[in-house]
Amino acid sequence: MSAPADAVAGEVVLRLTDVVKTFPGVRALDGVQLEVRAGEVHCLLGQNGAGKSTLIKVLAGVHRPDSGELEWRGRPAAFANPQAAMRAGIATIYQELDLVEDLSVAENAFLGHEPGRLGFVRRGHTARRTRQILARLGHPEIPPGRLVRHLPAAGKQIVSMARALSHEARLIIMDEPSAVLAHDEVGNLFRIIRELTAQGIAVIYISHRLEEIREIGDRVTVLKDGRTTAANLPARDTPTRDLVARMTGRTIEYVFPDRPADAPPRPELLRVDGLTRHGEFADVSLTVRAGEIVGIAGLVGSGRSELLETIYGARRSQAGTVRMGGRTLRPGSVGAAVKAGMGMAPEERKSQALLLGEPIYRNVTLATFGRYARLGFTDAGRERAAAGRMAAALDLRPRDVRRPVRTLSGGNQQKVVVGRWLLGDTRLLLLDEPTRGVDVGARAELYQVVRELAARGVGVLLVSSEVPEVLGLADRVLVMREGRVVREAPAGDLDENTVLDLVMAGSLMEGAPA
């Protein structure tokens, strides 16, 4: 569908030379070179903490570089603030969505530049233009008046895109946009990106999924430790080994740890019977044994996350029971679930899991600090030591656990959330998109950790939008569609295409499965 890499002939719209940006104690960018041409999809690749998000924040006027040159459409430029960057034609969709939850879709799309007359917002006009943009984005069904709070993650992202399009952008930057999307949504995203580039708009695209970069990207720039290690590689033809090696200094891709050769059947840990929440999922029954990894595949909106949250007691079921080790749990009580040995890493880390201003170690021990306390007195030293070991096990960067979580890169924040439950006496771990935003190397480490936990007898219930992840990691797979389990089978009996067919049957599908 898109042109080969060397056919990118657009003029250079953006050029960065030797850009440096330091934060207290960290050189986040340490000499970055980047060249982006009109009409291309330029991919940024790099491990967690490599500096990708920092780089785009420099472009978006959020951070000011310490040194280096930024050339925008042939002229040296410096953006004092995000408004200046936007006026110049650079729109950004951030990794952590930055929507105002209590404003409507239209208000968010036009936030800061509402069409107005004499100081009055022209609501009808705003709504109309929002509807046009949403239609262009392939989502005419989202009502412009709906509060963003009530949209699912994928819907929120569409609103972020709408905001970018509401400006007359020449360059649109997308920081891990596909992380919140399911397969068909990714297809839709790619269709939109192709439309944009056909109009001569340049796109900077960040993702940890190499197959996406191959599908949509034209050229790739690789960052490592804040430095450009390779620039303008052809996205399609550069061997994966080369890309990974330049990112990490080593050569691995997805490695799923081996499943243990027939382990003796262990006792049943979790039994869910006929669990129902109207409009979300219906009549779901499943079991997880000790030491077993059960994966749930399905589209965003198929009720997977809601199911997980209901099992965990964060939502109250309307029918059905959840039993842990034979004992029925009180519905709608997270406390009861945690006491029974459950732990959950939720889907949206920023709003559901992290205290951004608190130090790393306090986030890691959020569920367990009582265990390090004596007679109600906390012991920060022991907590830090425990969190430090966790940081080492998950290769968290930076290692200093007294830093506020706010200053970590997206993938490292995710490791903090997962690490939290590895500390406790968790017997059943509910993981909702555990590798979202986690880089290739750390991903392999995370898989290894999950496997080790299982080997120790911990049960794992895993939700992931990445089918290969579910198939590679889980022992048994449930496929969900529209709130119901449509298939249950050992992971070995399924392949990616079968799962995709099951998941998407009946839904209108855009784009090809990767």
Partner 1 sequence: MTETTPTTLPAQSPPADPAGTAKARLSWWRGDGGEGAKRNLGLLATLAVLVVIGVLTRPDLYGDASWVWGNTLTILKLASVVGVVTVGMTFVIIGGGIDLSVGAIVALAGVWCTTVATQSYGAGGMIFSALTVGLAVGVVNGLLISYGRLVPFIATLAMMVAARGLAAEISDKQTQVSNNQFINGIASTDVLGIPLLVYILAAVVLAGWVLLNRTTFGRTVAVGGNPEAARLAGINVRRHTLLLYALSGLCCGIAAIMLTAQATSAQAAMANLYELDAIAAAIIGGTLLSGGRGTIIGSLLGVVIFSTITNLFAINGLSTEAQNMVKGGIIVAAVLVQQVQFGSLTQFLARNRATTT
Name the residues that contact partner 1, by CB under 8 A.
22, 24-27, 47, 248-250, 252, 312, 314, 334-335, 337-339, 343-344, 346, 351-359, 362, 366-367, 369-373, 376-378, 380-382, 384-386, 388-390, 392-395, 397-400, 402, 420, 422-425, 441, 445, 448-449, 452-453
Q: Which residues contact 265 (CB under 8 A, 6 or more apart)?
A: 289
Which of Mg ion, ligand ATP, partner 1, none has residue 50 at its interface (CB below 5 to 8 Å by kind)? ligand ATP
| Category of 302 on φ-ψ map: left (φ > 0), alpha (ψ -120 to 50) or beta | alpha
Residue with tokens 């019977």: 273
CB 35 within 8 A of CB 13: no
Cβ closer to Mg ion: 56 or 460? 56
Which of Mg ion, ligand ATP, partner 1, none has residue 402 at its interface (CB below 5 to 8 Å by kind)? partner 1
Cβ closer to ligand ATP: 48 or 302? 48
Structure letter (DSSP) for residue 192: H
419 near ligand ATP (CB under 6 A): no
Q: Which residues contact 80 (CB under 8 A, 6 or more apart)?
A: 61, 64
- Per CB under 6 A, the list member of 12, 20, 26, 393 interacting with ligand ATP is 26
Look up residue 159 and give its two tokens. Answer: 């609103």
**Angle at CA of residue 381, ends 377 and 383, nearest 5°:** 80
413 near Mg ion (CB under 5 A): no
Look up residue 170 and give its two tokens. Answer: 């020449």
Instruction: List, as one string, the DSSP characters of 192-261.
Output: HHHHHHHTT-EEEEE-S-HHHHHHH-SEEEEEETTEEEEEEEETTTS-HHHHHHHHHSS-----PPPPPS
321 near ligand ATP (CB under 6 A): no
- Per CB under 6 A, the list member of 39, 46, 155, 217 interacting with ligand ATP is 46
Instruction: List, as one string, the DSSP characters of 362-380.
Output: HHHTTTTGGGG-BTTB--H
Whole-angstrom Cα distance, residue 458 to residue 474? 13
Structure letter (DSSP) for residue 13: E
Whole-angstrom Cα distance, residue 28 to residue 23? 7
- Per CB under 6 A, the list member of 34, 38, 39, 49 interacting with ligand ATP is 49
Residues 341-400 that bind ligand ATP (CB under 6 A): 397-398
Number of residues that bind ligand ATP (CB under 6 A): 22
Cβ closer to ligand ATP: 126 or 414? 414
207 near Mg ion (CB under 5 A): no
51 near Mg ion (CB under 5 A): no
CB 141 within 8 A of CB 155: no
Whole-angstrom Cα distance, residue 156 to residue 105? 9
180 near ligand ATP (CB under 6 A): no
- Whole-number minimum distance, CB 229 to partner 1, in Å? 13
95 near Mg ion (CB under 5 A): yes
- Whole-number minimum distance, CB 189 to partner 1, in Å? 28
- Whole-number minimum distance, CB 501 to ligand ATP, in Å? 32
Whole-angstrom Cα distance, residue 401 to residue 405? 9
41 near ligand ATP (CB under 6 A): no
Please say whether the dihedral angle defined by the alpha carbons of residues 499, 501, 507 and 508, taken in this order, is positive or negative: positive
365 near Mg ion (CB under 5 A): no
Centroid of chain to Cα 82: 23
Span from 46-54, 151-159, 488-496, 506-514 in contact with ligand ATP (CB under 6 A): 46-54
408 near ligand ATP (CB under 6 A): yes
CB 37 within 8 A of CB 394: no
What residues make contact with Mg ion under the rule CB under 5 A? Answer: 53, 95, 409-410
What residues make contact with ligand ATP under the rule CB under 6 A? Answer: 23, 26, 28, 46, 48-54, 95, 397-398, 407-412, 437, 439
